[in-house]
Amino acid sequence: QQQVKQSPQSLIVQKGGISIINCAYENTAFDYFPWYQQFPGKGPALLIAIRPDVSEKKEGRFTISFNKSAKQFSLHIMDSQPGDSATYFCAASMRGTGNQFYFGTGTSLTVIP
Amino acid sequence: NAGVTQTPKFRILKIGQSMTLQCTQDMNHNYMYWYRQDPGMGLKLIYYSVGAGITDKGEVPNGYNVSRSTTEDFPLRLELAAPSQTSVYFCASSYATGVGTNEKLFFGSGTQLSVL
């Protein structure tokens, strides 16, 4: 059973455009929602994260939007660049579970010059 | 700091063979994890450890074993390798300050394993 559902599986965006990746979860005990970025041949690296007490978090061109009532969160990449081409994973975790993270299935983003 | 170091980077096993994937971290992190990554499936937690001498199962532990004798090392053992264990394996670590504190994961660069 997939605890965190992610879409789309792949995404192609023109340089300068907005990339949007969506995730949904069912378990209301989740209280931490990170996004990881992975380049080919590398391990994932934390990009940005949010807790459910805020509806939005922005870091540079990357923004997480969080909708607690809908149990959804999304990653927006503004002014997308070819260097943003990577696989993106959303994840969720909850208190008291040994810091276990449940990952989405990943989105392969390609930004065309 | 080297961060999280995994060896080997690539390995081919025959069905029924066994091997150990090595993982070491130099950040003095208390938590360590093993994930496997399969195409279209994301990352699935195999085992994790909250400190030396303490390990616990994740989502997909069958066919694997772990040990944590030191803070730095967290090897993953595959016994009787099967084609279903063909995957990319990632070791990760984090520093958690207590119950309810979620910290970021630091990943190694992965081990690509094929079982033929």
Measured CA to CA, the distance from residue B26 to residue B81 in angstroms comes to 29
pLDDT of residue A2: 77
For A1-113, where are the alpha helices, taking DSSP H only? Answer: none
Measured CA to CA, the distance from residue B8 to residue A110 in angstroms comes to 29
| Contact between A100 and B109 using a beta-carbon 8 Å cutoff | no
| Contact between B56 and A9 using a beta-carbon 8 Å cutoff | no
Confidence of residue B39 (pLDDT cuts 50, 70, 90): confident
Q: Are strands A107-112 and A10-14 parallel, antiparallel or unpaired?
A: parallel
Q: Which of A6, A10, A53, A99 to mutate to test the interface with B (most CBs of B within 10 A)?
A: A99
Tokens 């803070």 correspond to: B71
Is the pLDDT reported for residue A10 higher than 60?
Answer: yes
Q: CA B110 from chain center: how many Å?
A: 9
Confidence of residue B2 (pLDDT cuts 50, 70, 90): confident
Please state, for a pLDDT cut of 90, what percent of chain B lies above it: 83
pLDDT of residue B41: 85
Q: How many Å lie between the alpha carbon of A100 and the closest alpha carbon of chain B?
A: 8
Is the pLDDT reported for residue A1 higher than 80?
Answer: no
Is the pLDDT reported for residue B60 higher than 80?
Answer: yes
| Contact between B109 and A49 using a beta-carbon 8 Å cutoff | no
Q: What is the pLDDT of residues B68-91, one digit of tens each?
A: 999 999 999 998 999 999 999 999
Record the tokens describing residue A110, joined without a space: 């390609």
Identity of the residue numbered B22? Q
First to last CA, chain A: 37
Contact B48, B32 (CB under 8 A): yes
Stretch B44-59: mean pLDDT: 93
| Contact between B48 and A31 using a beta-carbon 8 Å cutoff | no
Confidence of residue B116 (pLDDT cuts 50, 70, 90): very high
Q: What is the pLDDT of residues A46-66, one digit of tens each?
A: 999 999 889 999 999 999 999
Measured CA to CA, the distance from residue B82 to residue B67 in angstroms comes to 21
Q: Pick B58's closest partner by Cβ from A44, A45, A100.
A: A100
Q: Is B103 on the interface with A (CB under 8 A)?
A: yes
Q: Among all residues of chain B, which has the CA nearest to that of A32?
A: B102
Confidence of residue B101 (pLDDT cuts 50, 70, 90): low
Confidence of residue B98 (pLDDT cuts 50, 70, 90): low
Residues of A with Cβ-Cβ distance to B110 under 8 angstroms: 41-43
Contact A47, A76 (CB under 8 A): no
Q: How many Å lie between the alpha carbon of B108 and the closest alpha carbon of chain A?
A: 6
Q: What is the pLDDT of residues A68-112, one digit of tens each?
A: 999 999 999 999 999 999 999 999 988 766 668 899 999 999 999
Q: Dump strand ranges (E) for A1-113.
A: 4-7, 10-14, 19-25, 30-38, 45-50, 56-59, 62-67, 72-77, 86-94, 101-103, 107-112
Identity of the residue numbered B63? G
Confidence of residue B40 (pLDDT cuts 50, 70, 90): confident
| Contact between B105 and A44 using a beta-carbon 8 Å cutoff | yes
